[in-house]
Structure formats: C-alpha cells, structure tokens
Structure 1
Amino acid sequence: MNDAPESVEVVRLAARGDGVTADGRFVPGAVPGDRLLADGTLRPGPGRVTPPCIHFGACGGCRLQHVAEPLLADFATARILDPLARLGIVPEDVRPAHLSPPGSRRRASLRAVRRAGRVELGFNVEGSHALVDLAMCLVLSPRLLALVSPLRALLAGLMPDKGAVGIRMTATDGGIDLLLSNLAAERLPVVEALAAFAEAQRLARLSVEGPLGVETVVAPGVPAVRLGGVPVTLPPGAFLQATADGERALVAAALQGVAGARRVADLFCGVGTFALPLSQSAHVLAADASGPALHALARAAKAASRPVETQHRDLFRHPISAAELKRFDAVVIDPPRSGAAAQTAQIAAARVPVVVAVSCNPATFARDAERLASAGYRLETLWPVGQFRWSTHVELVALFRAEQAGTAR
C-alpha cells in the first residue's frame, strides 16, 4: 500500500523565486497556495495569476510575474527577514513592503547581437547568454521602451555580423542618456550616424565605451536629474536608482531615520541620492570612490549652496575611521551588493548614535547588521522596497540605534 500523500502544499517562495513545499521540496514556477500532485504536476492556487508578458519564462528579468501582488510584498519582506532571523536579529518595526509599479524603470542594461544581418536586442535568457529579442516589456518606462526599435534599426547599419553591443539607457529630465559599449566609433560615417540618431530621438547624450574608456559622441541636451530638489548632471554610465518611485521610498525612509541629526555622513554616496536630500536640514560629508560621481555631486551642491563636503575615498580599503566618525550624529551607508564589512566595523566602533543602512543585498546586509548588533545597536525599523518589479531583487532601508549612545561631539 502506498501511503504517500496525493498532494503537498507550496508554502513559500525561496530566495531565487522557486516555490517550496511543506515537506521542503523546491519546485520551479510554483506559487504559495499551489499544490504539488503525486505525478509532479501543479494544481494552481489562489496566489497564481496569468503572466502579462509574452516573454515570461524566457527573459531573466521577471521571474515572478505569475505571483499575485500580496505575495510579491510578502516575498520582498521575507527575503530580508529570513537572513536576519538566522542570525537572531529581529527588527522592532517592519513597515509594509513598497513595490514600484509596472512601466517605471528609468534605467536598464540590455544587449544587442547581430546574426545573419538581423539585430536582436533585449535582456538575457534566464541563466544563459542567449538573448530575448524584446517585442514588449512591462517594466521599462515608455520612454525607454520607445527607443528599442529605433536603436535596433541604428545598430543594424553599424554592427558587424556576430557582433555584440552593450546598451545602458537612463531616462533623465533632459532626455535619455545612452551609453553603447563595444561599438567602434572612430570613422566619420559612424559618428555622423550616431549624432543624427541622438538628434532624431532627442537624446540628452550619446556616449560610447571602448578600451580607452567612455567618450561622449554628442550631447544635444543635459542628462540631469533632480535629487533633493537639486539638478545633478550625471556622468556617463553613472549609477541611479532603477525607478524614481523606488528612489522616493528609499529617501523618505532614510530622512525619517536621521530626523533631527545636524551632522550626517553619507557613505558610498554616488551622485547624491541621499546626500542632497539630507543637506536640506543637515551638514553632510559625502564620500565615494567614484571620482566622476563625486565631482557631479560637488558641483551640484555648490551651485545650490547646499552644505555638502565631498571626499574621494575608497571605503573598502580606507574606510572612514571610528575617530573620524565620532563627530557625526548619524551615518547613512549605501554600499554595493558586496556590503561594507570594513566600514561597518568602524561605524560600530565609533558608536554613532543613528545608522541608516540602505542595501540591495539581504545576505550581505544581514552580515553587516550582525556586526552592528554585536556592538550594541538595535534594529529599530525596517523598510522593504521592491523597485525591480517581478524580480527576486529586493532593497531595503534599516534604522539602527545605539543603545545609550551619547550625543555626537
């Protein structure tokens, strides 16, 4: 007699988006509430929806289009809480997850390849170097999506067969900032074609990146965005939060966390996503290893008479020391995906009263949070933010407060 159950419920989503059953099995494409039948098929549950994009299942960008909205929010929160729980860290207050809406992506990296005289342009297939040639995209802003077909036509006349070009598009207030990599632009006909394209598409700037670095071909407009009310002209290829909606959520949480602070250090500051909003009510030290980004921030802050001091510094190799940090009331830290172990150690040693951590990697965030917790910080508030809609990529803001911390000197 076979005592195996006829079905088992899918109870959660794993970090990479697979469903996990009550008995611990990982099931690709499953959604909490589905049931895995004995023959290996899935019986859909109430949390499953019809994916709205024709590229779902191939394109690597949107693994969770088949998941209902409330479960997407639950997933974003669990992605952050689970690694913390394994380290014994429990936030005192977890705010509802903020999810950016469809069609809000203002920054995207795509790839173009030419095969047999035809250019394919889009995102990579999940787990592969193969390409999904975009016929539609529900995450890109309409401005970026409208550029795909004209760009495909442009590259058809410039790329060699079997050639590949990297594409970075950023929608700015002055038009789209377009950066093409691995495209030779030394010959006059190529430069003329690029300049004509930029003019026709009303781009803010068109640049190419090759072995010698990035070179601006033409800049008909000004590739600027407003950060904290201050216009900042972006360097080519500069980092910008993927959606303006997500940026607003992250900044609002950070400002709430440091409310009342008069002296704030913004570490890994980039072009000033947090530094400029912070400078509306505090004196800010902004530090980063990217010279072009820091120069853009410094120039914008000076033009707006904002109290921002910039410091060009590799915070991995030369973190700001505990002695230097003791004069600050609060620190905002927004490291890349690798986290900031060395800098967090200095923050913990300084016992800065308030630490606002922004992260795009729950695993490295948990590691850094453990160091702060061990130094006597409590995780007061956590804000989950899912600005990469339908993906497994999650961001967050976390407010840490030092127990019995004295006033910064």
Structure 2
Amino acid sequence: MAARRGGAPARRRLHRRRSRRGARPRARRGDPGDTRVSLIVKVAGRGDGVTANGRYAAFAAPGDTLADDGSVLPGPHHQVPPCRHFPTCGGCQLQHLDDPSWAGFITERVGSALAAQGLVAPIRAPLLSPPRTRRRATLHFEPSGRLGFSAEKSHQLVDLQECHVLAPELFALVKPLKRLLASFRAKRRLDVHLALADQGPDVLVTGVAPEGLQHHDSITAFAQAHGVARVAFDDGLGAETRWEPEPATVTLGDVAVPLPPGAFLQATHEGEAALVAAAREAIGAPRTVADLFAGLGTFALALPARVYAAEGGRDALLALKAGAGRAGRPVFTEHRDLYRRPLTATELDRFDAVVLDPPRAGAREQAAQLAASKVPVVAYISCNPSSFARDAKEMVEAGYRLDWVQPVGQFRWSTHVELAARLSRA
C-alpha cells in the first residue's frame, strides 16, 4: 500500500533530500567500511553534524557516517523526525537526534562556552522537557491564512498541520485561530502570543484591533467554544483585553500571580521546576535573598527567605507584588533597570544570597558589581551559555568559584540551551 502523505516514509524521504547541501552530487548511502567515509562525532552550535576532521553535514547525528559525496549513513543516535514540517519549520532544528545525542549537544554547548572563557566546572546531565510540553510560544498569521512558525532562516511561514513541541491545549487553537483571524482581513503579518494560564489558554494578537459587533461576537464565540482564559489585542497602543471571564493567573511556587498579556514564562513546567530546584539547591537556606531580573516571581515566590525582587518590566513587577501581597509572602519589590542601575556592591552585601536570571544578553553590569561584593553565593540562571560564561569569568577572577552547572533543555529539539549554576566565594 502506498505511504500516506505526510507519514513516516514520506518524512524519511524529505529528511534525506534536505540533508544534502548546495550542489553536491546525488546522495548515496555511505558504506561504513569505505575509507572515504568519516564518523560524525558531535553536533555544532547551529545543528550541523561535524566529523573529527572538521567536515560538516546538515541533519547528521553523532555516530552517523559521512561519505565524500555528502551522503549520510544513519547511526545509532539518528532518529526519523516525527513531524512532517521538519526541517522546514524553524520551531525545531534537532528532531533527527535521539535524547542521548540531544543531551550531548546541550552539554557540548555549555562546555564550549566555559572553555572559551578558560573556565572549568562539573557539568551535570541535562534535564530535558518531554515533547508537547511548551506552554508559551509566538506564532505568526499571514493575510493568506497561514498560521505557524517562520521557516528556518526565512520569513516564510510554515502553516502548522501538526506540532510535537506545543502543549496540546495550545496546538488545538491553531485551526480555530486561523478562522477567527481571517475575518479581520489584516493587510500585514500578525503575531499571536500563546501561553497557558491557570484558567486555560491565553491569547494575545499584536498588529490589529477588533472593530464592531461582528468581531466582538466572533471573539466571544471562539473563546467560549475552546475554553480560552483570555483574548487580548494590541495594535501598537498597548494590550486591550476583549475576553476574560475571570482574572488570568499563573501559579508560581504555590502563589497565583496575575498574568499580564504577553508576559514571560519559563517555556515548560518541567523546565521551570528544574531551574527552581537548582536555584534552591545553589543558595541553600539563607535569611535574605536578592532576586534580580525577577519577572513574575518564578524564583522569588519559591525561595524560603525574605526576598528583595528587582525587575525592569513594570507590568511583571506589579503582578509579582500583587501575588506576593495576597499570599502574605515576604517579598519586597522594586522597579529597577538593572542594566542602567545595577545593584551596587554595597547594596548587594546586605544579602546572604543572590539569584540572577537575566535575558540572553546576560548581566555584564550586574556581574561586575557582584564581583566587587561579598555575597557568599550566587545562583545564576541563564538562557545563553556564552553570556553566562562571560559574566562568570569576571566573578571567578574576583574570587568566586564556579561549583557546578546544571543544563536544562526546555526548548525541545532546539539549539536553544538554558542552565543554572552555583557560584560561591572561595
């Protein structure tokens, strides 16, 4: 019987075709006994397989063999990508890797970043989030009616028919959202921010605003039919909520925190739990903690201490303040831009520990003040191993010891790597 369109056999053929690069000769199966083949030993930062002698091959896994003509013989760690959209869709880059080789890629990324700064530390086994657990994502909608992620290295949209990373509650909204947004007759691309609140899916559409009773009725019908917690729109003047039968919240620690439209959340519940556990292990049981770049309070509300929380985003900080106040938590909040006005060494010396969770750019200015401080222990949470290693180097040179690094793979089959690390005064 012929293979069903989009099934595993068809995906294998697509995967093999897209594994070739440029104008290489027609691919053939490599022979492991052929002296012209090379073993793939690792996966580079952008997802290509690399041989010991520096040859690169797209969509190759460690243990694969690469022939001179560019053909790849799959090895023990090479899996058939489960999704029909791979590798076109930019949501994933590594679906051809099994979990051990994906974990190896994550460890290699962290180790390479440390080595580039002359740092050495124990790197723990990565903690990986399962498929279909992403609770936060941004999709795009085009006037043509397509809704999905951008294609890899392109502005073209992949019209999602399946997704193996999104939580089922979010993927279930793809088709209904296409019907809803088509009625807006937008003339440009819209961004659709999805998240899982305690009450259900949260939807923020940017780039358009509803007009008239017809749009109002369509939004209400969509939200009621699909159990949506909130629908909001932002046409450039700020988010305006159009459906929210009860206030949307997200539970952090055991505290229900108001969830602003489009707010940042850790990508998966599993990833959040791993990072929180690592932070708590790193700082132990201090009396006072500074949580810097605190966001909604992912760490501040999970720490058994009196917490000072600094955050530059006003909406996030107000939500944290409200949640902590209702729960009676000892959290003092301050609206503060830690890039322009980092806590000084003198201010930092008041705390028994610091939790630092900056954006991808890292926290160069704050790390310099920490390096000059006497803070006994720092839990550094990072979504960029390179900026983390840069900041950690400055602190190590000032007398801190990098005790361990815990990598976390929240973004399934992605080259995006996160980590938690402990730095303590030697």
Deviations 1:244-277 (A, max 9, x none): 1110000000011111211100000000000000
The answer to whether the aligner puts 1:212 opposite 2:241 as a matched pair is no
Q: TM-score, normalised by structure 1?
A: 0.94
Out of 135, 149, 164, the position equivalent to 2:175 is 149
Deviations 1:82-102 (A, max 9, x none): 1101222111x3221100000
Partner AA of 2:57 in structure 1:
V
Asked whether the equivalents of residues 288 and 312 of structure 1 are also in contact (C-alpha less than 8 Å), the reply is yes
**Inter-partner Cα distance in structure 2 for 1:183 and 1:387:** 31
Partner AA of 1:43 in structure 2:
L
Asked whether the equivalents of residues 5 and 38 of structure 1 are also in contact (C-alpha less than 8 Å), the reply is no
Partner of 1:130: 156
How far did residue 57 of structure 1 move?
1.1
The answer to whether the aligner puts 1:250 opposite 2:261 as a matched pair is no
Out of 283, 289, 292, the position equivalent to 2:306 is 283
Out of 323, 326, 336, the position equivalent to 1:303 is 326
Partner AA of 2:41 in structure 1:
V
Q: What CA RMSD, in Å, does the superposition of the two structures yield over aligned residues?
A: 1.2
The answer to whether the aligner puts 1:180 opposite 2:205 as a matched pair is yes
Out of 73, 87, 110, the position equivalent to 1:43 is 73
Asked whether the equivalents of residues 198 and 220 of structure 1 are also in contact (C-alpha less than 8 Å), the reply is no
Out of 323, 347, 352, the position equivalent to 1:329 is 352
330-339 vs 177-186, greater mean Cα deviation: 177-186
Partner of 1:94: 123
**Inter-partner Cα distance in structure 2 for 1:135 and 1:100:** 22
Q: TM-score, normalised by structure 2?
A: 0.90
Paired residue secondary structure (1:94): coil
Partner of 2:19: none
Paired residue secondary structure (1:213): coil
How far did residue 396 of structure 1 move?
0.3
Partner of 2:56: 26
Asked whether the equivalents of residues 382 and 397 of structure 1 are also in contact (C-alpha less than 8 Å), the reply is yes
Percentage of matched positions with identical amino acids:
51
**Inter-partner Cα distance in structure 1 for 2:366 and 2:294:** 13
Paired residue secondary structure (1:379): strand
How far did residue 5 of structure 1 move?
4.6
Out of 146, 169, 178, the position equivalent to 2:194 is 169
- Please identify which structure carries the higher strand content: 1
**Inter-partner Cα distance in structure 2 for 1:368 and 1:187:** 51
Paired residue secondary structure (1:114): coil
**Inter-partner Cα distance in structure 2 for 1:67 and 1:202:** 35
Partner AA of 1:141 in structure 2:
A
Unaligned runs of 5+ in 2: 1-33
**Inter-partner Cα distance in structure 2 for 1:390 and 1:200:** 32
Partner of 1:407: none
Partner of 1:377: 400
Paired residue secondary structure (2:240): strand
Unaligned runs of 5+ in 1: 404-409
Asked whether the equivalents of residues 57 and 70 of structure 2 are also in contact (C-alpha less than 8 Å), the reply is no
Count of matched residue pairs:
393
31-40 vs 303-312, greater mean Cα deviation: 31-40
How far did residue 218 of structure 1 move?
1.9
Asked whether the equivalents of residues 184 and 210 of structure 2 are also in contact (C-alpha less than 8 Å), the reply is no
Paired residue secondary structure (2:132): coil
Asked whether the equivalents of residues 175 and 221 of structure 1 are also in contact (C-alpha less than 8 Å), the reply is no
**Inter-partner Cα distance in structure 1 for 2:236 and 2:152:** 28
Deviations 1:182-207 (A, max 9, x none): 12224332233223322222211111
